[in-house]
Amino acid sequence: MVLYDNHNHSQFSFDGKRTSVEDSARAAAEHGLGGICFSDHCDFYVPPMKASFENLAPEYFDVAAQQAEIERVQKALGDSIRVLKGIEIGMYRDCRTEIRKVMVENSFDQVIASVHYIEETDPYYGGYYDGKDWKEAYGNYLRTILEEMKWLEDFDIMGHYDYIVRYAPYPELSIRYRDFSDIFDEMFRFLIHEGKALEINTKSYEGYRGRTVGLDRNVLIRYREMGGEIISLGSDSHEPSRVGAGFMHHAELLKHLGFRWTAHYEKRRLVQMPLI
């Protein structure tokens, strides 16, 4: 079984100082992965409350420099692993112009579309959840992904739909299909029609501050039932030790649920690798 880790951060991400393209690509080769994609952060909007906490530089990167480094590392590692050029576009309504521009001006192997910031807040720092119950907080997040990805269109993988649960204060530890069936169905119709991938982001399920998000299998079952076959595995690694984390478990789960492939994209073209 040849697996690709499609979601990794390198030194080109604002929060990627614990690794490098080279270290994570070497780790991927050692783990026996077929490929690794560097999907560095590109968020043009950063909530003011976060900027004041961390005094951060902008959360986007020099695409040309990242791609030159990926090419260098690919040459150094030869055939042992495919090293792909990616980006994780942080979708935010007020930044649509900048987002479109970065997509038009650059070429990637694959593009993950994610939502990290919402309603002028960073869920990691809280604020977003204030005054909302779990259903409203999770529902707003899913609707925002849906709305922005329909606008963007130009991407390959819908990133971590359950990111919002990682930092939530509620006892509800997963986004269940049955609670948001209308939104999920609309997301899946769009992904399936457009040939885009649903991401399983394994970082969500590793636990954070004593909370471990649960993946509701019914989400995957429904996607499959509607004809969804394109699944992307991503570790969301920010350090070499997490590259490919949780992949065997999730690959087995996918097989068990009747999926036959995992997906990645090369030069924006879908590649399906058999789950055997």
Give the interface with Zn ion as residue ranges (CB under 5 A): 114
Q: Which is nearer to Zn ion, 114 or 235 (CB)?
A: 114
Q: Are strands 35-42 and 197-201 parallel, antiparallel or unpaired?
A: unpaired
Nearer to Zn ion, 114 or 237 (CB): 114
Closest residue to Zn ion, based on beta-carbon distance: 114
> Sheet of 157-158: strands edge to edge?
4-8, 35-42, 82-90, 110-114, 157-158, 197-201, 231-234
Nearer to Zn ion, 237 or 262 (CB): 237
Pick 19 or 114: Cβ nearer Zn ion: 114
Of 114 and 144, nearer to Zn ion (C-beta) is 114
* Rg from Cα positions in the chain: 17
Nearer to Zn ion, 27 or 115 (CB): 115
Q: If you ran DSSP here, which 8-state letter would residue 13 be given?
A: S
Residue 217 neighbours by CB under 8 Å, 6+ apart = 253, 257
Q: Tell me whether strands 4-8 and 35-42 are parallel, antiparallel or unpaired.
A: parallel
Minimum separation from the CB atom of position 115 to Zn ion (A) = 8
Identity of the amino acid at 12: F
Q: How far is the CB of 7 from Zn ion (least distance, A)?
A: 7
Q: CB of residue 237 vs Zn ion: minimum separation in angstroms?
A: 11
Q: Which residues, 6+ apart, have CB-to-CB distance to 72 below 8 Å?
A: none
Least Å distance, CB 175 to Zn ion, is 16
| Minimum distance from residue 41 beta carbon to Zn ion (Å) | 7
Region of 120 (left: φ > 0; alpha: ψ -120 to 50; beta: rest) is left
CA 81, CA 34: separation in Å to the nearest integer? 6
Q: State how far the Cα of 87 lies from the Cα of 268, in Å rounded to an integer.
A: 12
Cβ 26 to Zn ion, closest distance in Å? Answer: 23
Residue 63, token pair as written in the block: 């695409």
